Amino acid sequence: MKTLYFSSLILRSFFILLLIKIFILPSHLYSQNPEWIVYHPSNCAIPDSMIVSLAIDSLNNIWVGTTTKGLAKFDGKDWTIYPKTASLPGRFISDIQFDKKGNAWIGTNPFTYFPDDGGLSKFDGSNWTVFSTVNSDIPTNHVSCIAFDDEGDLWIGSSDIGVVHYNGSTWTTFNTSNSPIPRNKVNTIAFQGLDYKWIGTGSLSGEGMAVFSGLGLGWKTYNTSNSDLPSDDIYTIVVGPNNNKWIGTSGNGLVKFDGSNFTVYNTSNSPLLSDYIWTLTFDKQGNLWVGMGVPGGIAKFDGQNWTLYSTSNSGLPKDAVSKIAFDDWGNMWLGTYGGVAVYKEGGVILSNKVSGKSQVSQFHLSQNYPNPFNPSTKIKFSLPKPESVKIEICNIRGQKIQTLLNKQMSAGNHEVEFGGHNLASGIYLYRIEAGKWIDMKKMILIK
């Protein structure tokens, strides 16, 4: 009888707790958004599932490039499609980047079935500007990658003539005829500080990567013949904390280069599932995320431990991952060969959009990114209403060094860039004041 009594008591307590959860507790205390969401042509307006480029603008719009169906933009609710037109000169969107003014730059490349495609477009949200060999001095329509340096100059990696530099008025080409660049097929460009440009080429023997300095150091090349670089086919390069260069190869795994030594991570000596490394990026916590070709999926590396995500253990739609990017809410957006996926541990956060503008419900100051940084970093903040905003840079003792921003700002999400070119390495503070709201965060400059 005693056992039956306690069993009945436990059962009754369970139902009481369940009723409290359902009828009394607010739903947000126990409901949760999914950790994975996938967008593909069968469930949304995205025009193609083969995604080769992806980028996120300062308003957290997701821009997606496809292999044959042009460009798409997602504002968290609706998709806007930009097919090939006179304004967008190609169907194959090889890269998407944003300049300091927020303009979108879209690189296109001739495709097997569309050899007349190709060129570069700039879009300011209303107007398009096209750069091609027909209407401008750009020396090629084969745009493989796009990058902006700290001065705001445009750098293009091409698949046929090397690297192209554009300062707003003049186009300058660096190729195998006029420089030590190892090959005219350029897959990636990365910047280290104000001066160093790292250039990844491929795929023939003896090519590899090169670094260029305009301050008298000139060019230096690294390949399998003159260094411990394990591959001459370099697909992507990213500069991480402590100025380590992380290099993705096509068939020989991931490489870390600290300026002297090469450390290789591949399927033989690490948990990586593929030696084809397609994309690399760092999150705000300093973790390296690796996107791979089949059967790799993605991997997170914190410097000691690996965490793997694939179609077999997650919501990833395909194990071929071409691009990885993070929005302000910490969502990770993935361009895959099975559509666009978004992931966030604990549940994806999607903003509500009204008339193309983000509806912000509260003040928010984001952690600067990248952090640590050298020499520049971006500071993002959100305003629920128009305010006079002041952002000051201070030393660790709180003494003001510089006023970065002091102006009236509209409601919404905003971004400013801070350059520590004239400062020594150390910990600095950035302080924001908007009406009665004040917040402050630390940032680290490492030179």
Q: SS3 of 26, please?
A: coil
Q: Is 262 within 8 Å of 227 (Cβ atoms)? A: yes
Element containing residue 36 per DSSP (H, E) = strand 36-39
Of residues 23 and 278, more confidence is placed in 278
Q: How far apart are CA 172 and CA 270, in angstroms?
A: 41
Which pLDDT belongs to residue 255? 98
Percent residues over pLDDT 90 in the chain: 73
* 307: enclosing H helix or E strand: strand 306-309
pLDDT at 31: 37
Tokens of 121: 């477009």
Q: What is the mean pLDDT of the chain?
A: 88
164-171 CB contacts, 8 Å cutoff, 24+ apart: 164/138, 164/139, 164/140, 166/138, 171/137, 171/138, 171/139
Phi/psi of residue 35, each to 5°?
-80, -25
Go through the chain and tell me how many residues it has.
447
pLDDT at 256 over 50: yes
Tens digits of residue pLDDT in 23-48 = 333 333 333 468 999 999 999 999 99
Question: What residues have CB less than 8 Å from 274, skipping those under 6 apart?
Answer: 267, 292, 293, 294, 295, 296, 297, 319
Q: Shortest CA distance to 430 belongs to which of 438, 419, 441, 414?
A: 441
User: What is the DSSP code string of 44-81?
Assistant: SS-S-S-EEEEEE-TT--EEEEESSS-EEEE-SS-EEE
**Residue 271, Cβ neighbours under 10 Å: how many?**
12
| Arithmetic mean of pLDDT, 293-320 | 96
3-state secondary structure string across 185-251: CEEEEEEECCCEEEEEECCCCCCCEEEEECCCCEEEEECCCCCCCCCCCEEEEEECHHHCEEEEEEC
In 369-411, at which residue ranges do the beta strands (DSSP E only) sit?
376-383, 387-394, 400-409
Q: How confident is the model at residue 306 (pLDDT cuts 50, 70, 90)?
A: very high
**Alpha carbons 31 and 347: distance in angstroms, whole number:** 10
Please report how many Cα atoms fall inside a 13 Å half-sphere around the Cα of residue 223, on the Cβ side: 18
Closest CA to 371 of 303, 291, 287: 287
Residue among 226, 258, 216, 254 at smallest CA distance from 241: 258
Closest CA to 362 of 370, 351, 377, 354: 351
pLDDT per residue as tens digits for the range 174-217: 999 999 999 999 999 999 987 899 999 986 665 899 999 877 67
Fold of 360-445: Immunoglobulin-like (2.60.40)
Quick: pLDDT tens for 362-382. Answer: 788 999 999 999 999 999 999
Mean of pLDDT values over 239-254: 95
| Cα gap 290→395, rounded to integer Å | 35
Output the pLDDT for position 43.
94
| Phi, psi dihedral angles at 53 (to 5 degrees) | -145, 150
Domain boundaries, the chain: 36-343, 360-445
Q: Which residues pair with 125 in a beta bridge?
A: none
pLDDT tens digits, 70-89:
999 998 889 999 999 989 99
- pLDDT at residue number 359: 58
The matching CATH number, chosen from 2.80.10.50, 2.130.10.10, 3.10.129.10, 3.30.465.10, for 36-343 is: 2.130.10.10
* Spatial separation of the C-alpha atoms in residues 66 and 95, rounded to whole Å: 10
When pLDDT is averaged across residues 285-300 and rounded to a whole number, the result is 96
Cβ pair 330, 289 in contact under 8 A: no
Residue type, 293: G
**CA–CA gap between residue 79 and residue 83 (Å, rounded):** 13
pTM for the structure as a whole: 0.76
Confidence (pLDDT) at 33: 67
Q: For residues 7 and 93, which has the higher predicted lDDT (pLDDT)? A: 93
136: pLDDT strictly greater than 50: yes
Q: Give me the pLDDT at residue 207, please.
A: 87
What is the three-class DSSP state of 443? strand
Within 13 Å of residue 140, how many CA atoms lie on the same side as its CB? 27
Return the number of other C-beta atoms located less than 10 Å from residue 292's C-beta: 27
